[in-house]
Structure 1
Amino acid sequence: MHVKKGDKVMVISGKDKGKTGMILEAYPKQSRVLVEGINIVKKHAKPSQVNPQGGILNQEAPIHVSNVMPVDPKSGKPTRVGYTVENGKKVRVAKNSGEVLDK
């Protein structure tokens, strides 16, 4: 996958198109990512010991990785990802500016 946990990404399609957020979790086997504040769904929780009230909760749902693009640290715009080898390590690079995306 071209994105990792902790990356700042922009949604490029779907109901949240244009919004940005940080990746909270990545699910490589399903090719999905959980992005902070994106794809909010209502979950109906029945009462339990942890949540005695129950009710309807708002939470993020995973979206397909093809619907997000990393944000270029230099310009703040979405960018494609390239790979280069620096000091014997493969690092991700923003195609627009050449800036390294890995910390």
Structure 2
Amino acid sequence: MKIKKGHQVKIISGKYKGSKGKVLSVCQKTNKVTIENFNIKTKHVKPKRDEEKGYIKKIEGPIHQSNIKIDNLTN
């Protein structure tokens, strides 16, 4: 069964092994999924104008589909 947005999944390998989460997005081209509150990356954003300040943004990074399995089929 294909993994879709909104599915509950369990991470079966890697840093977050054994954790459960909800799928936020799926990229079929690269076979990667983004899971809510996992694989958090820090992105530094530069100021666009002189009067603006730069800031640090935290975003979820993608995880390969082979490292997860569907935990619960009910949405």
User: C-alpha separation between the residues in 2 aligned to 1:69 and 1:35?
Assistant: 12
What's the CA shift for 1:102? 6.1
Q: What are the within-5 Å matches in structure 2 for residues 17-96 of structure 1?
A: 17-48=17-48, 52-72=52-72
TM-score with structure 1 length normalisation?
0.62
What's the CA shift for 1:39? 0.6
What's the CA shift for 1:48? 3.4
Structure having the higher strand fraction is: 2
Q: Secondary structure at the match of 1:57?
A: strand
What's the CA shift for 1:20? 1.1
What's the CA shift for 1:55? 2.1
Q: Give 5+ residue unaligned stretches, structure 2.
A: none
Select the structure of larger CA radius of gyration.
1
User: C-alpha separation between the residues in 2 aligned to 1:102 and 1:19?
Assistant: 18
TM-score with structure 2 length normalisation?
0.83
RMSD (CA atoms): 1.8
Aligned residue pairs total: 73
Q: Secondary structure at the match of 1:66?
A: helix
User: C-alpha separation between the residues in 1 aligned to 2:38 and 2:17?
Assistant: 9
Counterpart AA for 1:7: H
Q: Give 5+ residue unaligned stretches, structure 1.
A: 73-100
Counterpart AA for 1:21: G
Counterpart AA for 1:23: V
State, as a whole percentage, how many aligned pairs show the same letter.
Answer: 42
